[in-house]
Amino acid sequence: MSRHIFVTGGVVSSLGKGLTSASIGMLLERRGLKVRMQKLDPYLNVDPGTMSPYQHGEVYVLDDGSETDLDLGHYERFTSGILNRDSNYTTGQIYLSVIEKERRGEYLGRTVQVVPHITDEIKASILALATPDVDVVITELGGTVGDIEGLPFLEAIRQIPLDIGKENVMFIHLTLVPYLKAAREAKTKPTQHSVQQLREIGIQPDILIVRTERPIGREHTDKIALFCNVEKKAVIEEVDKEFSIYEVPIGLIEHGLDELICQKLHLSTGPLKMDDYRALVHRIRNPRNEVTIAVVGKYIEHRDAYKSIYESIDHAGFHHSTQVIVKRIEAEELERQGPEIMLKGVDGILVPGGFGMRGIEGKIQAIQFARECEIPFFGICLGMQCAVIEFARNVLGLADANSSEFSSETQHPVICLLEAQKGVRYKGGTMRLGAQPCVLTPGTRTAEAYGVSEISERHRHRYEFNPEYRREFTEAGLQVAGTSPNGSLVEIVELANHPWFVAVQYHPEFKSQPHNAHPLFKGFIEAALLRHQHRSGGTNSERPQVRPMN
C-alpha cells in the first residue's frame, strides 16, 4: 500500500515548499523507496502555459509535453521519479474534467457540486499515482492555507485518511517564523494561527517545518509544538541556506526529518545513502574558480522567470568547481546603453527563451557583440532564433531579416511559423511541446559535447528556422549542428570559427541536474572559464585551471 505525504504551506507564499517537498522526495529515494511527486495548484488556468512569467515564473515542460508549474523542476532536479501529465493539476483542470463529465451525462441526473464531485475528482487525481510499485506519493499543495481557492483541495486531502487509513497518510505543514529586529525575537504566533486554520478544516499536521532566517532554538520549537498539538521532535526548523538551495536536504537530515517520516508512516527502508550528495555540497561550498555570465532577457527582474536556466548554469559551475556569477541584464536596457557598457567584462553571454518582440533588438545586439568579440554564447529557443536573425542581418547582409513572430512585412522571414502551427487558434497546450528526437551533425562542438549521435530534448515554441535560407547560412559559416531525424527542422546552429557559439531551438535547461549537469551548459561554462583564464593572464600553475569534477 502506497503512503501519502501532503505538504501544505502557511503564513506567506514563496516559502520554498517546492524545494522542501523535493528534498523530502530525495531523502526517501535515497533510502531506497520509490517516490512519485505531484503538485496541485489552486488557480483557474488549466495549466500555467497561458500565464506570463511575471505572474507565475517559468513554465516547466515535461517529456510528455505538459506545461507545468516550476516546482516540478525542483522535483526533477532532486528526484528520479517519473513526472507526467498526472504530476500537476490545477483547479481549472479539475473543473474542466468535471464539467466535461457533466456534459456527457456521466453524473446520471445528479446535482453536480464542489463536495463531493470536485473533491472526488481531486482525490482521484492524487490516488491515481499510488500504483503498486510506488512506496510514497508526495503531493504538494500550492498557495497558502486560508486562500479561498485552496479550500476544495484541503477538503479533499482531509478525506483521504478516511478512505485509505490514517496510518498511511501524513500531513506536513510549512510555515514561517519571522524574526522581529525591533523586538529581537522570533515570533511563533503566525505559525500558531496557520495551524489553527488547518485544524478548523479538520487537518492536524503531523510535522511542522518552520522556515527561519536564523536558528530559533528548542525554546521556540517546543512552544510551537505545544500550541500546535504536534510532537516536539516533529517541529523542525529549516534555516535559510547561505550557499545554495542544494544544502536544504542536508539540513533536513540533521533534524531527523527522514527518520521521523519513516517511523510515522511505518516504512522500513535501507540506510540513507548520501555520501555522493554530501561530496557535491562540499564542492558547491568550495569553488576554485569564478566566471561571470550575462543572461540577457526580458523578465530579468522576476527571480523565477528563468529558474531552470539559472539552476543549469549553477550545475555546470558545480561540475567545473566554479562559482558562476550571473549578471542579469534587461534586454531593453542593453538596447539603450549598448553592449560595450552592459556586457563589459563578462565571460559568457546567454540569451534565453521568450515570446513577443519587446527586448528583441537588445538581445540581437548582445549576440552580435558575442559573435564579433568571440565571447562564448549560448542561445536557447528565442535566443537561437535571435542568433539566426543577427547572422542574417549582419553577416548575410539581409538588413530587414526577422522572425515572422515580430514582423509580418519582413522580406526575409529567416524564422517562420512551423507548418503545424498554421491553423492553430487555441492558445493553451498547442505549441510544439515536449521531448523530440534530434540527430547531431558529426564533428560539431555540440556532437562532441553530447558524445552521442542522437538526443532527445524538450521543446516549447511555434516558430522555427526557415529551411529556405539553410544553404545561405551554412555557406557563410553558421553550421547546422542538429536536425529533426528526417532533416526537415533545424534544431541546433553553431559558429565554426568562434570559441563557443551554440544556439538550440529546444530547452536543455529542463534536463540538467545538480550532480549531472547538461552537456551544453558544461561546454558553455568551460568555454567561459577558458576565456576568463586567458583574460587574467594565461594558464600557468598559479592561475585557475579548467578541472572537471568528475
Distance CA 353, CA 543 (A): 35
Query: Toward ligand GLN, which CB reaches closer, 75 or 465?
Result: 465
**245, 224, 216, 203: which is closest to 77 by C-alpha?**
245
Please identify, using beta-carbon distances, which residue of 461 and 531 lies nearer to ligand GLN: 461
Given a contact cutoff of 8 angstroms between Cβ atoms, the answer to whether 513 and 76 are in contact is: yes
| x-marked contacts with ligand GLN along 455-484 as a string, rule CB under 6 A | -----xxxx---------------------
CB of 432 to ligand GLN, least distance (A): 8
Residues 467, 436: Cα–Cα separation, whole Å: 18
- The residue (of 227 and 355) whose beta carbon lies closer to ligand GLN is 355
We find the least distance from the C-beta atom of residue 523 to ligand GLN, in angstroms, to be 20
# residues near ligand GLN by CB under 6 A: 10
Give min distance, CB of 309 to ligand GLN, in A. Answer: 11
**How near is the Cβ of 353 to ligand GLN at its closest, in Å?**
3
Pairing of strands 377-380, 501-504: parallel
Residue 327 in grid coordinates = 549578471
Closer residue to ligand GLN, CB minimum distance, 40 or 331: 331
> Which residues 324-383 are close enough to bind ligand GLN by CB under 6 A?
353-355, 381-382
420-425: which pairs have CB atoms within 8 A and are 24 or more residues apart?
A: 421/462, 421/463, 424/462
Nearer to ligand GLN, 193 or 462 (CB): 462
b/e 472-499 (16+ beta carbons within 10 angstroms → b) = bbeeeebbbbbbeeeeebbbbbbbeebb
Q: Report how far apart, in Å, the C-alpha atoms of 314 and of each of 32, 217, 356 are.
A: 27, 32, 27
Instruction: Tell me whether residue 171 or residue 391 sits nearer to ligand GLN (CB atom).
Output: 391
**Interface segment toward ligand GLN; rule CB under 6 A; list 25-33, 286-294, 306-314, 454-462:** 454-462
What minimum distance in Å lies between the beta carbon of 483 and ligand GLN? 17
Question: What's the sign of the alpha-carbon dihedral 440, 441, 443, 446?
Answer: negative
491 is catalytic: no
> Comparing C-alpha atoms, which of 323, 375, 318, 325 is closest to residue 512?
318
Query: Rounded to whole angstroms, what are the CA distances from 152 to 90, 94, 155, 340, 378?
Result: 11, 11, 5, 54, 44
Going from the C-alpha of 525 to that of each of 322, 449, 482, 519, the distances in angstroms are 9, 12, 21, 10
Q: Which three cell numbers stand for residue 20?
A: 522542501
- The minimum distance between CB 427 and ligand GLN, in angstroms, equals 12
C-alpha dihedral (532, 534, 535, 540), degrees to nearest 10: 100
Active-site option among 58, 237, 509, 526:
509
Which residue sits closest to ligand GLN, CB atoms considered?
A: 353
22: cell is 523535493
**How far apart are CB 471 and ligand GLN at their closest, in Å?**
22
C-alpha cell at 273: 545513502
Q: Minimum CB separation from ligand GLN for residue 462, in Å? A: 4
Q: Which of 41, 238, 405, 509: binder of ligand GLN (CB under 6 A)?
A: 405
Q: What share of residues in the chain are helix, strand, coil (percent, to 5)?
A: 40, 20, 35
| Contact predicate 96/55, CB 8 Å | no
Question: Which of 220, 363 has the CB closer to ligand GLN?
Answer: 363
Task: Count each helix (H run) and each strand (E run) in the chain, helices first.
Answer: 19, 23
* Site map (CB under 6 A) of ligand GLN, residues 173-202, x = contact: ------------------------------
Measured CA angle at 26 (ends 205, 268), to 5 deg: 70
Of the residues 381, 386, 416, 438, only one is catalytic, namely: 381
Residue 381 annotated among the catalytic residues of the structure: yes
Q: Which letter, b or e, does each residue of 510-520 get, where b requires 16 or more Cβ atoms within 10 Å of its Cβ? A: bbbebbebbbb
Residue 143 or 354 having the CB closest to ligand GLN? 354
CB of 101 closer than 8 Å to CB of 232? no
Closest distance to ligand GLN from the beta carbon of 496 (Å): 25
Q: Write down the H helix ranges in 292-398.
A: 307-319, 331-337, 339-342, 360-372, 382-394
Q: Is 373 a known active-site residue?
A: no
Q: Write down the least CB distance from residue 382 to ligand GLN, Å.
A: 3
Phi, psi of 264 (to 5 degrees): -65, -30
Per-residue mark of binding to ligand GLN, 20-39 (x: CB under 6 A): --------------------
Q: Is 306 helix (H, G, I), strand (E, B) or coil?
A: coil
Residue (353 or 434) nearer to ligand GLN, CB: 353
Active-site pick, 74, 117, 461, 507: 507
Nearer to ligand GLN, 317 or 383 (CB): 383
Instruction: Find where cell 539603450 sits.
Output: 336
The footprint of ligand GLN (CB under 6 A) covers 353-355, 381-382, 405, 460-463
Residue numbers annotated as active site: 381, 507, 509
